[in-house]
């Protein structure tokens, strides 16, 4: 996975900063070679030890030195040559080197906490899996905002990203055109920035508000889960019951579509669901902001989902099967004749998925936020004109009403995002199981639209 | 008629048209789902899930218009 991630990163950076991207890719490649040879070496030792034949022993040193020399030459030689000739940027190169290491560290942490791929689904009976889930979720929660920040970086150099309103309201000396822009309600980061304008930490938080609030959402949810699941029992308490109800009903819905593949994909689906849900709900609290109300975060989520769906498609169908799926599975003459039309249509259909996912989430959450901002703004205008009786009671009522609506939107959007992820994954699965289900007349496969937007 | 004025007229009308289309679509969808639920109350959860997914697809169209408006709003001037 780390390869995919790093290459996606490099490809993202490629248009704006080619030097950094190339250095990243180079570091990545060298670390990959390093691990490849390291794996060979370790396998040599363990296999030799396992078989423990005398004849094998004598072969071992020769092979060992051969592979070691092979490893040393391109890996360290290549790295030094690259750095010496100054053809790479050191920082980006180091980042490229560290991404696989980071992945391995994360993976070992997950393994240390004893979490398997299906640990989400056995939470009630096996209590040890809970902490592993927490770590997995934590890794996910912290990666998403980071990824979003990377997406922001190329845009921030040029024009201002549309997802970031200029926050002119917070600054006293705002330019005159600020009235016509959308202004977010001042959250506590903005207020903090007003009081401590010189502190670099506060300034960094002000610049990366969505990152901060994304982290807050993650920490809040993790805190909630670890609190609710601190002593999981067979007869669940209130909070545990609520969580288990959510997870079990999602399990029913997703299991109807994914069938026996559920265990593999369910952790990802639930991680997405809970992250979006928490991030959405946090925006309702005054002084906080939904990290999903910027296109950067939702695009990061949608791109990760897109990469995951395509990756699982290749893994499930095989490369040839995947290409066959993209070509619309031609089986007869008409199918092959339609090939030049069907391939672009299918490829476009795949590419539109992340756009529609991210725009839907962003538009809904941002729209709700804007609605509340507008009504609060009207109330503020009335207050300024000292029309207190007109301002406060009806506006408070309307705002409360829309906050109720916002809660509904938050839940529904999280549900839609994760269900669409499920549908996309389902469309990438081999369809034999689905057809056999129908042939047996079970009909327990939930109706899933075959044609996405 | 200059570009900004055209944009200023077209964006709200576009959103309204998208909303009309989405509303009709949502109406059809909701009617179908309600009839199905009334006919087969035991299939309620499955119908609801399919309905919500469909709502998501339909609603996305208005959201696209909204996002487009939001991107182009700065150019009204």
Contact call for A419 and B52, based on CB within 8 A = yes
Nearest to A410 by CA among A229, A285, A226: A285
Contact call for B53 and A359, based on CB within 8 A = no
Residue A413 in tokens: 């959007």
Q: Which candidate from A363, A412, A452 shows the least CB-CB separation from B52?
A: A412
Q: pLDDT band for position B39 (50/70/90)?
A: very high
Please say whether the beta carbons of A23 and A96 come within 8 A: yes
Residue A228 in tokens: 């609710």
What is the Cα A70 distance to its own chain's centre?
A: 37
Q: In chain A, positions 421-440, which contact chain B (CB-CB < 8 Å)? A: 423
Contact call for A360 and B60, based on CB within 8 A = yes
Contacts of B64 in chain A (CB under 8 A): 356, 359, 363
What is the per-residue pLDDT for B26? 93
Mean pLDDT split into 10-residue runs, chain A, 453 residues: 58 62 68 68 58 48 65 66 63 64 60 45 40 52 57 41 37 35 61 76 77 83 81 76 85 83 86 89 81 85 90 85 80 77 82 85 85 78 70 73 85 88 85 47 43 41
**0.85 surpassed by complex ipTM:** no
| B60, closest residue in chain A (CA to CA) | A360
Contacts of A446 in chain B (CB under 8 A): 46, 49-50
Residue A447 DSSP SS3 = coil
**A419: contact with B, CB 8 A cutoff:** yes
Q: Please enumerate in sequence order all residues whose Cβ is within 8 A of that of A6, keeping only pairs 6 or more positions apart, or say none.
A: A24, A25, A28, A96, A99, A100
Neighbour tally for A62: CB within 10 Å: 9
Q: Which candidate from B52, B57, B63 shows the least CB-CB separation from A359?
A: B63
Residue B31 in tokens: 């009617």
Q: How far B68 CA lies from chain A's nearest CA (Å)?
A: 10
What is the per-residue pLDDT for A443? 40
Q: For residue A170, which phi and psi values (nearest 5 degrees)?
A: -75, -25
What is the count of residue pairs from A and B with beta carbons less than 8 Å apart?
58
Q: pLDDT band for position B32 (50/70/90)?
A: very high
Please say whether the beta carbons of A209 and A292 come within 8 A: no
Q: Does A224 or B39 have the greater pLDDT score?
A: B39
Look up tokens 């056995």; give the residue: A122
Contact call for B53 and A256, based on CB within 8 A = no
Cα angle for residues A435, B40, A121 (degrees, 5° grid):
55
Cα angle for residues A288, A289, A294 (degrees, 5° grid):
170
Q: Which of A253, A296, A411 to probe the B interface (max B CBs under 10 A)?
A: A253
| B43, closest residue in chain A (CA to CA) | A446
Q: Does B68 or A45 have the greater pLDDT score?
A: B68
Neighbour tally for A402: CB within 10 Å: 19
Contacts of B54 in chain A (CB under 8 A): 449
What is the per-residue pLDDT for B30? 93
| B58, closest residue in chain A (CA to CA) | A453
Q: pLDDT band for position B28 (50/70/90)?
A: very high
| A363, closest residue in chain B (CA to CA) | B63
The pTM assigned to this predicted structure is 0.59
Q: How far B63 CA lies from chain A's nearest CA (Å)?
A: 6
Measured CA to CA, the distance from residue A382 to residue A127 in angstroms comes to 55
Q: Which of A4-13, B10-19, B47-56 has the lowest mean pLDDT?
A: A4-13
Q: Which candidate from B45, B56, B70 shows the least CB-CB separation from A162?
A: B70
**Residue A414, by phi and psi: left (phi above 0), alpha (psi -120 to 50) or beta?**
alpha
| B44, closest residue in chain A (CA to CA) | A446
Residue A295 in tokens: 């296109």
Cα angle for residues B26, B27, B32 (degrees, 5° grid):
100
Measured CA to CA, the distance from residue B47 to residue A16 in angstroms comes to 46
Q: Which candidate from A252, A367, A416 shows the least CB-CB separation from B56?
A: A416
Measured CA to CA, the distance from residue B62 to residue B26 in angstroms comes to 11
| B70, closest residue in chain A (CA to CA) | A162
Q: Which candidate from A252, A363, A446 shows the least CB-CB separation from B63?
A: A363
**B69: contact with A, CB 8 A cutoff:** no
Look up tokens 């997914």; give the residue: B53
Q: Which candidate from B53, B60, B74 shows the least CB-CB separation from A419?
A: B53
Please say whether the beta carbons of A300 and A153 come within 8 A: no
Contacts of A415 in chain B (CB under 8 A): 52
Q: In chain A, positions 233-292, which contact chain B (CB-CB < 8 Å)? A: 249, 252-253, 256
| Percentage of chain B lying above the pLDDT 90 cut | 34
Angle at which helix A295-326 crosses helix A209-228, to 10 degrees, equals 80
Cα angle for residues A406, A411, A414 (degrees, 5° grid):
120
Q: Which candidate from A162, A364, A449 shows the least CB-CB separation from B63?
A: A364
What is the Cα A80 distance to its own chain's centre?
A: 35
Look up tokens 């939470």; give the residue: A123
Contact call for B46 and A446, based on CB within 8 A = yes
**B72: contact with A, CB 8 A cutoff:** no
Q: In chain B, positions 17-46, which contact chain A (CB-CB < 8 Å)? A: 45-46
Q: How far A359 CA lies from chain B's nearest CA (Å)?
A: 7
Q: Which CATH number fits domain B3-75: 3.40.50.300, 1.20.20.10, 2.60.120.20, 3.40.50.1220?
A: 1.20.20.10
For A122-182, the DSSP string reads GTTT-TTHHHHHHHHHHHHHHHHHHHHHHHHHHHHHSSPPTTS---TTT-TT--GGGGGS-
Residue B30 DSSP SS3 = helix
Q: For residue A266, which phi and psi values (nearest 5 degrees)?
A: -65, -40
Please say whether the beta carbons of A292 and A298 come within 8 A: yes
At A114-151, the pLDDT tens digits run: 444 444 334 433 333 444 454 555 555 556 655 555 55
Measured CA to CA, the distance from residue B31 to residue B55 in angstroms comes to 12
Neighbour tally for A215: CB within 10 Å: 17
Burial A98-119 (b: 16+ CB within 10 A, else e): ebbeebeebeeebeebebeeeb
């Amino acid at each position: 996975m780390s390869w995919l991630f790093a290459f996606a990163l490099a490809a993202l950076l490629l248009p704006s900063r080619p030097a950094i991207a190339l250095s990243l890719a180079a570091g990545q490649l060298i670390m990959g070679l390093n691990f490849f040879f390291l794996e060979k070496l370790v396998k040599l030792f363990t296999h030799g030890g396992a078989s423990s034949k005398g004849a094998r022993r004598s072969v071992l040193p020769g092979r060992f030195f051969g592979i070691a020399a092979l490893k040393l030459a391109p890996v360290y030689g290549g790295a030094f040559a690259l750095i010496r000739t100054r053809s790479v940027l050191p920082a980006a190169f180091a980042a490229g080197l560290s991404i696989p290491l980071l992945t391995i560290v994360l993976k070992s942490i997950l393994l240390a906490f004893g979490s398997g791929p299906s640990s989400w689904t056995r939470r009630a009976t096996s209590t040890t899996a809970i902490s592993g889930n927490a770590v997995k979720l934590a890794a996910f929660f912290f990666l998403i905002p980071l990824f979003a920040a990377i997406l922001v970086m190329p845009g921030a150099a040029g024009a201002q990203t549309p997802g970031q309103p200029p926050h002119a309201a917070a600054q006293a000396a705002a330019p005159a055109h600020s009235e016509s822009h959308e202004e977010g309600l001042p959250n506590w980061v903005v207020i903090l920035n007003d009081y401590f304008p010189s502190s670099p930490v506060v300034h960094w938080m002000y610049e990366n508000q969505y990152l901060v609030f994304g982290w807050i959402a993650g920490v809040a949810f993790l805190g909630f889960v670890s609190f609710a699941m601190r002593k999981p029992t067979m007869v669940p308490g209130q909070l545990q019951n609520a969580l288990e109800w959510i997870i079990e009903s999602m399990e029913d819905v997703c299991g109807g579509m994914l069938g026996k593949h559920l265990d593999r994909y369910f952790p990802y689906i639930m991680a997405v669901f809970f992250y979006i849900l928490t991030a959405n709900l946090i925006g309702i609290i005054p002084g906080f902001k939904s990290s999903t109300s910027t296109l950067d975060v939702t695009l990061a989520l949608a791109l990760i989902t897109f990469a995951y769906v395509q990756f699982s498609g290749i893994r499930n169908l095989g490369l040839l099967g995947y290409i066959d799926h993209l070509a619309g599975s031609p089986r007869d003459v008409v199918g092959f004749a339609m090939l030049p039309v069907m391939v672009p249509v299918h490829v476009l259909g795949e590419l539109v998925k992340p756009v529609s996912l991210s725009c839907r989430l962003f538009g809904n959450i941002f729209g709700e936020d804007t609605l509340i901002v507008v009504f609060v703004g009207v109330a503020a205008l009335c207050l300024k004109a000292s029309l207190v009786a007109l301002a406060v009671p009806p506006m408070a009522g309307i705002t409360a009403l829309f906050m109720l609506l916002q809660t509904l939107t938050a839940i529904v959007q999280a549900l839609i995002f994760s269900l669409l992820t499920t549908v996309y994954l389902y469309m990438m699965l081999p369809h034999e199981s689905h057809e056999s289900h129908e042939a047996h007349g079970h009909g327990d496969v939930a109706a899933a639209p075959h044609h996405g937007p | 008629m200059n570009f900004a004025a055209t944009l200023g007229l077209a964006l709200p009308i576009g959103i309204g048209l998208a909303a009309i289309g989405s509303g009709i679509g949502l109406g059809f969808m909701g009617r179908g789902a309600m009839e199905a639920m009334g006919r087969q109350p035991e299939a309620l959860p499955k119908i609801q899930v399919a309905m919500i997914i469909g709502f998501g697809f339909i609603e996305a169209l208005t959201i696209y218009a909204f996002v487009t408006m939001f991107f182009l709003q700065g150019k009204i001037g």
